[in-house]
């Protein structure tokens, strides 16, 4: 069990650029989640996949944000036309659950800085 991994760990970009982050979940986990955490706050839910299906999206996820999990394994989160307010830590989590809610295990996060 290698845990949840995320790449890159840090990303600095200029306002208006597009960025893409990758998350590799724990291999047997069927659920994958994206959260965003700003300084001094708890994580906030963005979106969630069960296998390859995106089942839930937060109102925080504007139309500049898109997430995919094409083969039900890794996931990507893309932010188009980045804004300074997008600066945050983007966290990925995975869990295994057939019914109920399993424990969510988090990756180390990708810290995005928009200048």
Question: Which residues of this protein are in contact with another protein, per CB under 8 A?
Answer: 31, 33, 35, 40-45, 48, 55-56, 58, 89, 91, 93, 100-101, 103-109
Choice between 58 and 80, CB closer to another protein: 58
Whole-number minimum distance, CB 103 to another protein, in Å? 5
∠81-62-27 over CA atoms, to 5°? Answer: 95
Whole-number minimum distance, CB 65 to another protein, in Å? 15
Choice between 45 and 74, CB closer to another protein: 45
Residue 67 near residue 76, CB atoms below 8 Å = yes
Whole-number minimum distance, CB 2 to another protein, in Å? 14
For the CA atoms of the chain, what is the radius of gyration? 13
| Size of the chain in residues | 115
User: Which is nearest to 22 in space by CA: 14, 30, 31, 11?
Assistant: 11
Whole-number minimum distance, CB 23 to another protein, in Å? 13
Distance of CA 56 to the CA centre of its chain: 13
Choice between 42 and 70, CB closer to another protein: 42
Choice between 17 and 51, CB closer to another protein: 51
Residue 84 near residue 96, CB atoms below 8 Å = no
């Amino acid at each position: 069990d290698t845990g949840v991994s995320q790449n890159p760990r840090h990303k600095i970009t200029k306002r208006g650029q597009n960025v893409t982050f990758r998350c590799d979940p724990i291999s047997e986990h069927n659920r994958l989640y994206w959260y965003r955490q700003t300084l001094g706050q708890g994580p906030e839910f963005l979106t969630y996949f069960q296998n390859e299906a995106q089942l839930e999206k937060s109102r925080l996820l504007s139309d500049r944000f898109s997430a995919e999990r094409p083969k039900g394994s890794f996931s990507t989160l893309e932010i188009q036309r980045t804004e300074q307010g997008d600066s945050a830590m983007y966290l990925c989590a995975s869990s295994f659950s057939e019914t109920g809610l399993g424990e969510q295990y988090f990756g180390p996060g990708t810290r995005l800085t928009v200048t």
